[in-house]
Every structure is written in structure tokens, then in C-alpha cells.
Amino acid sequence: MCVSICGQIGYLVIASGALIMSFFSLFWPHWYTMNGKDYGFVSSACYDRTGDIGPDQCKADIEHIFDRADYNRTVVILMIVGIIITFFSILWCLASFCACCCRSHFLHVLPVFSVIAGVLFAAAVITFAASYNHGGNPKLSDSFIIAACASAVSFIAALMAGLTAYCSDRCA
């Protein structure tokens, strides 16, 4: 029981890291850099000509997220669904602390959630990398790398959840 509780806490930490990374990668304007300016899905970079952050340059473009190219919409949808699934898995793990009699049944679902989220994040990263072809020699930037890391961390969370579920069955 103690091992599975420690595993749940570890899972919460790892899954929360994946959630934070995926959330920031979606909303930061650093998916690719072209001609010295960073671009993202929600907004463009918030920099003026001197490189300082200026509120006039930082405008969220949330109402036009789905008016972009097909692959951009696909990446946004995959990231949002992955974020929702990761958030739900964290809530599910928190609820499993209260499930005294059926904790192991609750824990067996966590690896599935994490693998699905990891696949969605990986699909978003792969879709973007395969499809972004902008003129002007663009370079992939911070948010792209953070989204790739969120995918890897989701798979690590799935391993942790699998070990936790295994220990809850064997060490109860």
C-alpha cells in the first residue's frame, strides 16, 4: 500500500510536469522562428524591435486559432485533447487516493491515459515537423522542443503508473 501511494505521488509529479510543459508549449509563441520573429499557435512573439517585451506587440489570437492552415489546426486540436486527457488523469489519480477498497482498479487506468496523451503530443510534434514549410529559412524553436519533451514525459508517466498499478496489486 505504501509503495503504491508513493508511486501515485510520483505519477502526480511526472504527469503534472507533462501537463505544464504541454500547456506552455501550446500558448507560448515559440514554435518556429523566422526572420528573427517567433511564431506560435495562439500568438506571435511579444517583442518590439529592440527585443523587449511590449504589451502592444503581444496579442493573443485565440479567436483565429482555427482559421489557420490544416496542419496548424490539427496540432492545436491534438495538443488540447492531450492536455485534457493529462488533466483528467491527474484528477483520476487524486480520486484514487480516496478509493480505499478499489485503489488498484483506479490505478490500472492511469497508464492508458498517459500513453494516449503521449501519443497525442507526439502526433502533434510529428505533424508540425512534417508539415511546417514556411519560406525564409524557419527554425524550430522552444515550444516545439517543449512539446516533444511533454510527449516523452507522458510516456515516463505511463511507466510510473504501470509500476504503481503493479505494486498496488502485489503489495496490497
Domain harbouring 64, CATH code: 1.20.140.150
- The residue assigned the cell 522552444 is 142
C-alpha cell at 85: 486527457
Task: Residue 168: name the closest of 89, 102, 92 by CA.
Answer: 102
Average pLDDT over residues 125-139: 73
Contact (CB, 8 A) for 100 and 141: no
Contact (CB, 8 A) for 78 and 119: no
33: β partners? 38, 139
pLDDT at 135 over 50: yes
pLDDT at 79 over 80: yes
Rounded CA separation 66/19 (Å): 22
Rounded CA separation 90/13 (Å): 9
Is the pTM higher than 0.85? Answer: no
- The residue segments making up the domain with residue 53 are 2-170
Beta strands in the chain (DSSP E): 32-34, 37-39, 139-140
How many structural domains comprise the chain?
A: 1
